[in-house]
Chain A
Amino acid sequence: MPPSRSAAAVAAPLLASVLLLGACGSGGDGGGGGSADGKPEGSITFQTWNLRSNFKGYFDGLVRDFEKANPGVKVKWLDQPAENYAEKLSADAGAGTLPDVVNVSPDLSYPLAKAGLLMNLDKEKAAARFKGEYTPESWQGNTLPGLDGSYAFPWYLNTGPLFYNKSLFREAGLDPEKPPENYDELFAAARTMAGRPGGRTATLAGTPSIEDFGRYGVRLMNEDATRFTYNEPKGVELLTRYKELYDRGALDAQALTNTPEKSGQKFLEQKVAMNPGSAHDLGTFKKNAPALYRNLGITDAPNNNGKPNMYVMGLAVNARGKHKAAAVAFAHFVTDRRNQEAFAHQVAVFPSTKGSLDDPYWTKDDGTDEGRVRVASAKMLKGAVNYTPVVMSDEMKVVLKNEVAKALQGKKSPKEALDDAAAQSDKLLKRS
């Protein structure tokens, strides 16, 4: 319980002097928190998103190095599972217990920044001075519409490779070395796969996502991001073609309910021929499905307009943190060129620091499969776009997913379904 007003008046000077002595006092004002300038010190928390299981050693090392270089700072590393991450952030944000440095993507940082919980890095001198270390696109990628600034240090980039099963391709009479590059080729391959003798094999485990609409060349939103436009004829065309695939059995029987994790499992079991994944999956395949790993093809997601999708990860700084100087220093430390490159050597993600991708590691094919894919993806990254509209909340994604499912089930025509989804989402957008 908060102390009474008069008690607070007496206690305030005392508290202030205690704070000056460096003890851990309660900030209590709920407003500004500590200062971002000055020497980094104090205990800070650092939260990542589903990285503990594969990269425990890397992050333990990061924390150790940083603490050694900054003796006054203690970093506590937290990791949250992939699921329910947004819920966790919202609970922490609501309670004022948001970690000092937190792993976000732009669609997650948008509501947080809107509520004034994240530091505007462009407006904070201590942070803005690092801007030049990152590629302009990645800094821009963390800039939020209507909020006048960037709210996260750019961290790793990911084009989201598309994995495919070469032996399933071979069995279906497709060239395993020529994965589909655009949607026409994808749909043709899926038709062949579904019609192959000796049982139908599904090509994809999931339904089209907002990124698919983007890569297909559908305009997703109007200019000022106030209205969804994926129900334009191009979008209807995409969904109509997916419906045809679904009817032919070219999508997994459970495509309507598969979560990304579940889709990954189907691919692991060699029940579907292609699956979008993340670089983290590679290790999983190697360990749990050696047979699949030998026949694993990696390519970029099919694309109609030459601009691949790019997932942008960032590290945001809590605007109300007590030790902002330490938080900014640590967020910068994790995302500086050396550490980003080290991380990207551990797993096939890409650094967002300026000049990193000119490193031979990303420009010279070393002859391995992984190396070839790495070099190709790094090249693609130049024109990559983060298709997912920042203002598209989880609820709006669910709306789209549900309406797409209804169209595939035949309960609605593709046009009706997309019109309904856009109308519902617009309404949600207006209410926000």
Chain B
Amino acid sequence: MQRAAGRTPERPTARAGRVRTHRAASPWLFLLPGLGVVAAFVLYPFLSTVHKAFTDARTLTPGTWVGLRNFRDMLDDEQFRVALRNSVLYVVAVVPLTVLLPLLLALLVHKKLPGVTFFRSAFYTPVVASVVVVSLIWGWMLDDRGLVNGILRFLGAGPVAFLGDQWLLLFSAMALTVWRGLSYYMIIYLAALANVPRELHEAAAVDGAGPLRRFVSVTVPALRSTMVLVGALSSVAAFKVFSEVYLLAGPTGGPAGQDTTLVMLVQRTGTGLNGRVGYASALSLAVFVLTLLLMLLVLRADRKEADG
């Protein structure tokens, strides 16, 4: 992340070092609001979660130290294995699509044509509507008597139990995530596309490069860091997916709980009146470590490509 976000041709820190350009306290004053919020409302709660992972705390009781018991339980927990599988599948299926499709969409609406702003805005509808709204709509469309099955049946197929089958449910949720991601990540690409000097494209066009060549040899390299950013963002989001699956598959995660994702498991285990906060904290810790590994993987792949 450091590297991806901070990759610049100039090295500002090195140059700033030559001339003292600010008072010693200034940076910290700049950082204060952001760091304060993040430290108080994210990092501190996280530390307390780490502590709780080694206790048998429950929702209404603070619990006592139990060492590694929660982690040993996790290895025996079939639900954990199922959830891990689903979350990994989610990343594998969703991330390539959310890196590529929004880029293509951004290219489609990047070109100034009459009415293109209308399309851009209209595409943004699924993001403007909240995930709860969108999930309610999809749930209604994919219902076995909903719109999609109505159309299928009209065409002489179906009905398909989208919300009754473990895999169809997961795919439906993935489709929903990608669908919403289209315009969400399109915005990031549009912002980055605007930074690509037009001259590059024009030079390439003058050289006689076709649209595909220009995409591969001009656009992609220029947007590489953005693609990495989108890849990192969407893989973390996909790994931590909650709302879509929760709202489509239900709180218990589809048939026999087979559609449970990791965060759903955390939520289900750790909340409620009898919530096993200790075990849920251990699960959260596992999610955290795995997310970290995932990020490293994305950035490592990026670095290798950049070096090679």
Contacts and interface: CB of A to CB of B under 8 A. Distances in A.
Interface of A: 83, 86-87, 89-91, 93-94, 108, 111-112, 114-115, 117, 253-254, 256-257, 259, 269, 271, 393-395, 398, 401-403, 405-406, 409, 411, 428, 431-432
B276 A398 contact: no
B67 interface: no
Interface in B266-287: 268-269, 271-276
Closest 4 CB pairs of A and B: A115-B60, A405-B256, A254-B164, A256-B255
Contact of B256 (A93, A402, A431): A402
Interface string B54-92: 001011110000000000000000010000000000000
B276 A253 contact: no
B173 interface: no
Contacts of A432: 58, 274
Given A90-B59, A402-B256, 15 more contacts: A83-B251, A86-B272, A89-B273, A90-B60, A111-B273, A115-B60, A254-B164, A257-B163, A257-B250, A393-B274, A394-B272, A398-B257, A401-B252, A403-B256, A405-B257
B254 A269 contact: no
B161 interface: yes
12 contacts: A83-B251, A87-B271, A93-B60, A108-B273, A111-B58, A112-B273, A257-B255, A271-B145, A395-B269, A395-B276, A402-B257, A432-B58
B273 A405 contact: no
A90 B274 CA distance: 8
A406 B256 contact: yes
B144 interface: yes
B186 interface: no
B178 interface: no
A165 B58 CA distance: 44
A403 B256 CA distance: 6
A263 to B, nearest CB: 12
Interface of B: 56, 58-61, 79, 144-145, 161, 163-164, 169, 249-252, 254-257, 268-269, 271-276
Contacts of A108: 273
A87 B272 contact: yes
A143 to B, nearest CB: 18
A254 B255 CA distance: 8
Best-surrounded residue of B163, B275, B276 (most CB of chain A within 10 A) = B275
A393 to B, nearest CB: 4
A402 B252 contact: yes
Given A253-B144, A254-B163, A94 B59 contact: yes
B272 A393 contact: yes
A411 B250 CA distance: 21
A111 B144 CA distance: 38
A255 to B, nearest CB: 8
A114 B273 CA distance: 11
A403 B258 CA distance: 11
A135 B164 CA distance: 44
A259 B79 CA distance: 20
B256 A253 contact: no
Contact of A395 (B61, B161, B163, B268): B268
A432 B278 CA distance: 11
Contacts of B251: 83, 259
B56 to A, nearest CB: 7
Best-surrounded residue of A91, A254, A432 (most CB of chain B within 10 A) = A254
Contact of A115 (B61, B161, B169, B268): B61
Nearest to B139: A262
A393 B144 CA distance: 31
B203 to A, nearest CB: 56
Contacts of B275: 90
A7 B3 CA distance: 49
A421 to B, nearest CB: 11
Contact of A256 (B79, B164, B274): B164
Contacts of A428: 276
Nearest to B250: A259
Given A114-B60, A253-B161, A256-B164, A93 B273 contact: yes
B158 to A, nearest CB: 12
Contacts of B144: 253-254
Nearest to A111: B273
Nearest to B254: A257
A253 B165 CA distance: 9
A378 B60 CA distance: 37
Best-surrounded residue of B249, B272, B276 (most CB of chain A within 10 A) = B272
A228 to B, nearest CB: 15
Contacts of B58: 111, 432
A259 B164 CA distance: 11
B274 A111 contact: yes
A255 B78 CA distance: 22
Contacts of A403: 256
Contacts of B268: 395, 398
Contacts of B161: 253-254
A86 B273 contact: yes
A394 B274 contact: yes
B284 to A, nearest CB: 17
B252 to A, nearest CB: 5
A402 B82 CA distance: 12
B279 to A, nearest CB: 8
Contact of A112 (B60, B145, B255, B271): B60
Nearest to A116: B60
B249 A395 contact: no
A239 to B, nearest CB: 13
A402 B260 CA distance: 11
B272 A90 contact: yes
Contacts of B254: 256-257
A395 B276 CA distance: 9
